[in-house]
A and B are shown apart, each in its own frame.
Chain A
Amino acid sequence: MPSELGLPFVLLMHVLTGAGILGACKLRTTRTITLLLSMFAGMFVHSAVFLICDLVKIPLTATSMFLSAIVPVLVTIPSWKTTRELLKHLQAPSKHSIRLYDLPVIGLSGYIFYMILWASWYWPVTPFDAMAGIDLVAKYVVKDHTIVNSVFTHPSLQGQLSNQPFYAPFAMLMQSIMKFIGFVHNQVWVGIISVCFSVFVWAVLRQMVHPFIAAVLYLLYLLTPEMFGYTYLLQTDYVNAVFMVIGVYLIWQGAEHDSASHIAASSIFFAAACWSRTETILLVGIGCLASLLWFRRSLGTRAASILFGSILGLSALMFVLWHVVFFNYYLPVKPSAGDQLVGFSVDRFVMVVSETWTSVISRIDYWGLIVWVFLVAVTANVLMFRRISSVMLIVWIGSIVLGLWLAGSIFSAAVVEQTLRRGMFKLIPLLTFAIASSQLVTSASERLTAWEMRRSA
């Protein structure tokens, strides 16, 4: 199948798979968000099924790649009743109309999206980590038809692999899938994920506040300098941030609406986050423990324990599948991850915390104004309104920061200025949501909506 047809076909399979899964969770949200979440969930499932093909010794070829995209769609057929409702919901007429102030944002976004897609399609892989790991393994998956390929067995690379070829497998599997489709030298899927995630952030913001304020916050997010640079680069951090942010968004919405469906759906995305970056299991664990205390009050201890047990269980399963099963029973060589684990020391933790603030979080050249606007919004909320909006969101932001500090303290390979800087990608969209949910901004949004209604009446 030519790549021009192969890519839309595989993406359609991803959407259908994701729709089946979200339909089974009985998730109800807006059309744009449903569509995008379906695609992300489908990508995760496809990559996992593709790895399972290798585990059961099915040669990884273009045929097995296409079949591994189709099979999950067939498996979700038992949930077709709910999926059909979800798909019908996608066909419903739009409730939103495009306003004049949306046009500049649509124009600028469209232009930037074009450049992101072009750059991810045009340029070959350039980051060192990707050339030494993700893309190198993917190249030999295509040549040797297995993940246990020459990269792990050839004498010239013995003892020289370091940790890059052993990174959590999502990016490597997606890169392999794209090579089988026909995109042999680039990272076009990274551009697709970046564009779709940016639209997701905009859609969430439009749900929360007046479209004009949503547009301002969306542009602040989209043009965040450091994060923007990774929208077309093959690395694990951006895709990991995508899954983590969606997981947190769903759990936060679950808390806001007392919805078990949202929490169930979040388990898929947290598992995908653990499938895309190793240390994420730590962040998910901390976040779930903190959330459990909150959800015990609204859902009861038993229901909350079952839900959060399933989130942690699914995340742990994906972690174990790669880091325990694949490493120990399939790969002939093992990473030296154990050597990189250093015991927790308070001195190192304090050093990581202070360095994170001075070299990463406070850097305007990395994050623009987002961090400072967030701090102002939260402080103003506390001082003026004596409350914290969206507590669950703040709990997860705190959990992620704590998790990153812990990861920075116990992994010798985690360099604050690099690893934790890219770890911040998980926080930037969440900070944008937190700004939008602050009392200061929601009050302004309500006033703007009321003014607009008066004008149009």
Chain B
Amino acid sequence: MALCIWMLLGFMSADGSNPYAASYESRVELYRSKLDSLNKIRSVRERIYMRQMANLEIPEYIVAKMRPTDVLLLPPRGYANTFMQTEAIWTDPRIFTWMVGLHNVVAWSDTIRRKQANAFVVLEANTIWITRPGGSTNIDSLLNVFERSK
């Protein structure tokens, strides 16, 4: 048992950390220490939000603001990444669908259907809105920004 305890607790890798202890800390101890408070969160939406944050909030906002006639162009991930701290996976239509269900959206990489889009997502620091042709945002300029950032 002493050998086992040394292997699991006393062993250090080249970088001076114990891989078993680090793994145990992040995968068991972290949850155990917060078990009571986590268990109080019953809403599934809240649990998804804890993991996905803006990747859930942005699709929810977009869907709430979409009109029935909208064909919404999802921006390229590179564009969304410049405004988010985490990877903007919501720009992938499969993830968008997983978050909020099927809607009339077009992926940036869908070069054939992209031309049908009539609603566009604009992001700025802490701000998001949907713009449409004839609105305050120049669509061609926005598409140029998308193209450069993809």
Contacts and interface: CB of A to CB of B under 8 A. Distances in A.
A205 B128 CA distance: 57
A115 B51 contact: no
B95 A156 contact: no
Interface residues of A, number: 48
Interface string A135-165: 1100100000000001100111111111011
A212 interface: yes
A122 B23 contact: no
Contacts of A226: 23
Interface in B26-57: 27-28, 31-32, 35, 38-39, 44, 47-48, 51-52
A132 B98 contact: yes
Contacts of B27: 115, 119, 228-229
A220 B20 CA distance: 9
Interface stretch (B107-115, B119-127, B136-144): B107-115
A124 B48 contact: yes
B106 A156 contact: yes
A151 B97 contact: yes
Nearest to A136: B98
A27 to B, nearest CB: 32
B1 A104 contact: yes
B84 interface: no
Interface stretch (A2-10, A362-370, A428-436): A362-370
Interface in A111-129: 111-112, 115, 118-119, 122-124, 126, 128
A226 B17 CA distance: 15
Contacts of A160: 92-94, 107, 109-110
Contacts of B61: none
A229 B3 CA distance: 24
Contact of A124 (B38, B51, B105, B106): B51
Interface of B: 1, 3-4, 7-8, 11, 13-15, 17, 19-20, 22-24, 27-28, 31-32, 35, 38-39, 44, 47-48, 51-52, 89, 92-95, 97-98, 102-107, 109-110, 112-113
A131 B93 contact: no
B11 A156 contact: no
A299 B133 CA distance: 76
Nearest to B107: A160
Given A122-B38, A160-B93, A364 B102 contact: no
A329 interface: no
Given A126-B52, A156-B104, 10 more contacts: A122-B38, A131-B94, A151-B94, A155-B113, A156-B107, A159-B110, A216-B3, A223-B23, A225-B23, A368-B7
Given A119-B31, A365-B13, A136 B97 contact: yes
A383 B31 CA distance: 45
A132 B107 CA distance: 14
A158 B89 CA distance: 18
Contacts of A104: 1
A364 B14 contact: yes
A219 interface: yes
Given A124-B47, A216-B1, A220-B7, A156 B97 contact: yes
Contact of B97 (A124, A157, A164, A212): A157
Nearest to B56: A124
A126 B13 CA distance: 29
A223 B95 contact: no
A164 B14 contact: no
Given A154-B102, A160-B109, A216-B1, A115 B31 contact: yes
A223 B15 CA distance: 19
Nearest to B17: A365
26 contacts: A104-B1, A111-B28, A115-B27, A118-B35, A119-B27, A124-B51, A126-B52, A128-B89, A131-B95, A132-B92, A136-B94, A139-B98, A156-B106, A160-B107, A160-B109, A185-B47, A219-B4, A220-B8, A223-B8, A223-B24, A225-B22, A225-B23, A364-B13, A364-B19, A365-B13, A365-B19
